[in-house]
Structure 1
Amino acid sequence: MIGPKDVGYFTLYDLKGSKLAGSVFNILFNLNKFMAFETRDPFLIRQERENPTLTEWDRFAHREYIRLSMEEDAEDASNGSADVWDESLEAPF
């Protein structure tokens, strides 16, 4: 994870130069954070890498919007109201 210059040991310089130094410390000293690191969602990690300017709130809002729109589409399809037009509601010519 750290990628030290010498394979036998790592130095403080190696830790400071690594982007994953925080994860290394969490793995060594904090069991809860280690478990969170091990069970992280690869889909969310990919999203973070694709657009690093989005905040956690922006990602949450986007996921919820997609989830709610999918639920609404499924509800419309189950009711049959998506493709059915009631001709009795049309205005007479």
Structure 2
Amino acid sequence: MECMAQETVLFEDVLCQIVDMIRPEKEDYISLRNMKSCKLSGHVFNILFNLNKFIAFETRDPFLIRREHENPTLTEWDRFAHREYIRLSMEEDIEDASNEVGDIWDESFEAPF
């Protein structure tokens, strides 16, 4: 994690986070039944086996997550399409603004021939 300019996380902290996510029946061990019944089991495997996804999980935006839970009928694809639409419309607004600056140029400011 240090080579990725990330602060090192202690294993005890990761283990506590995993136990909080799974909420096993007995805190002595995590069973397969606990993993199957947990909706966050995919995140547990990402935390354990994929460093990039672990960092993404640690740096996630809680406000974005809350907004996603406000409308649970949207699929992941719908959310992606909405984000891309907003990004592309913002890029288009920036291009339009830069083109308008060029339109302001008045002929009276041009050099005579």
SS of residue matched to 2:22: coil
Separation in structure 2 between the aligned mates of residue 20 and residue 57 of structure 1, nearest angstrom:
19
Taking structure 1 as the reference length, what is the TM-score of the superposition?
0.62
Separation in structure 2 between the aligned mates of residue 48 and residue 3 of structure 1, nearest angstrom:
23
Separation in structure 2 between the aligned mates of residue 58 and residue 28 of structure 1, nearest angstrom:
28
Q: CA deviation at 1:20?
A: 0.7
Q: Percent identity?
A: 62
Match of 1:26 among 38, 43, 46: 46
Read off the aligned partner of 1:64 and give its amino acid letter.
I
Alpha-carbon deviations, 1:24-51, whole Å to 9, x = none?
Answer: 1110111011001111111111011110
Structure 2 segments unaligned to the other structure (5+ residues): 1-20, 98-113
Q: Which residue of 1 aligns with 2:4?
A: none
Taking structure 2 as the reference length, what is the TM-score of the superposition?
0.52
- Confirm or deny that 1:54 pairs with 2:74: yes
Structure 1 segments unaligned to the other structure (5+ residues): 76-93
Alignment of 1:76-91 (within 5 A): none
Separation in structure 2 between the aligned mates of residue 52 and residue 38 of structure 1, nearest angstrom:
22
Q: Which residue of 2 aligns with 1:64?
A: 86
- Going from structure 1 to structure 2, the CA distance change for 1:21 and 1:57 (only over 3 Å counts) comes to closer
Q: CA deviation at 1:57?
A: 4.8
Where relative contact order (Cα < 8 A, 6+ residues apart) is larger, the structure is: 1
- More helix per residue: 2
Give me the CA root mean square deviation.
2.4
